[in-house]
Copies of this chain bind each other. A is one copy, B any other.
């Protein structure tokens, strides 16, 4: 017997995630009522995953639940904000209980890890599509895309490109038995860098999350800051698994243009570099210097001292030319 919308929400989405004292009214009424901490501002983002665009048909439901929240947590991470509450709009072709249970558990596990609770939502029938809206808090200055200046050092967290290889594995376009599990996990269950974003508020001049490819997103951050960037090809961090799976050349290419990593790209003033490197040791926090912001617009990748010719600058939903 198919589930009613009411039963579906009751069974899978009530008490989904952490418990929080600041939720006066959660799932179940026309809207949620939430208590904002005094002296803090609200930070809000929204992101959609569409089947066939952001995840493959037949993708594990737990991954869809995890990623729908992770992409939003990553947006808050890029602002240095502390996540608190989420709302979920779920469009489903049918109320498949096994799928829903797995989806909800993937969502809830990541939510609990970040002390996030689902406070509201909407379920509708239609092509599979998941929109999550996240709310968090911030005290003091937020990390913006626009704070960088020429001369600021440019960094990225993690090892971008892994998720793109994971997607290629999922699509059957890459074979790499020894690295498959690691790379697949990086695509299916990305780690939003919430803790890093939060501490970076004391050090970074600008920050963006890398969702559409490092090259494109670094370019967006540089442009918002009114500058450009030089990226050192040799400095690009590449995981051992990725290098072994696709070779070192293709690995660096993927680290520049692959999407879905949800790492942070950020800039730091020269005068703050020592403090950053000693107080947030790169090997502990997992970030790498990849270049420098410059006055001239655009992003240039420099290899052996010469600029590379680049043809693909990351994923665009509505490409200017195809």
Q: Which residues in A have some Cβ–Cβ distance to B below 8 Å?
A: 1-8, 24-25, 28-36, 38, 41-54, 74-76, 78-79, 81, 85, 87-89, 91-92, 94-95, 119-127, 129, 131, 133-136, 138, 142, 144-146, 207-209, 220, 224, 316-322
Contact = CB atoms under 8 A, between A and B. Distances in A.
Contacts of A88: 46
A120 B45 contact: yes
A35 B40 CA distance: 8
Nearest to A37: B36
Given A38-B38, A47-B122, A92-B318, 20 more contacts: A2-B321, A5-B317, A24-B41, A29-B146, A30-B76, A30-B209, A31-B45, A31-B78, A32-B43, A34-B43, A35-B41, A36-B41, A44-B135, A48-B89, A50-B126, A52-B126, A125-B317, A126-B127, A126-B129, A131-B133
B41 A85 contact: no
Contact of A127 (B31, B127, B316): B127
Contacts of A126: 48, 50-53, 127, 129
A71 to B, nearest CB: 9
Contacts of A125: 50, 53, 317-318
Contacts of A43: 31-34
A138 B32 CA distance: 11
A119 to B, nearest CB: 7
B75 A318 contact: no
Contacts of A81: 31
B145 A46 contact: no
A10 to B, nearest CB: 12
Contacts of A38: 38
A209 B78 CA distance: 36
Given A33-B41, A119-B44, A138-B33, A91 B50 contact: yes
A1 B157 CA distance: 35
A89 B135 contact: no
A127 B129 CA distance: 9
A61 to B, nearest CB: 16
A81 to B, nearest CB: 7
Contacts of A318: 2-5, 8, 92, 94-95, 123, 125
B25 A33 contact: no
Given A30-B75, A125-B53, A320 B142 contact: no
Contacts of A49: 124
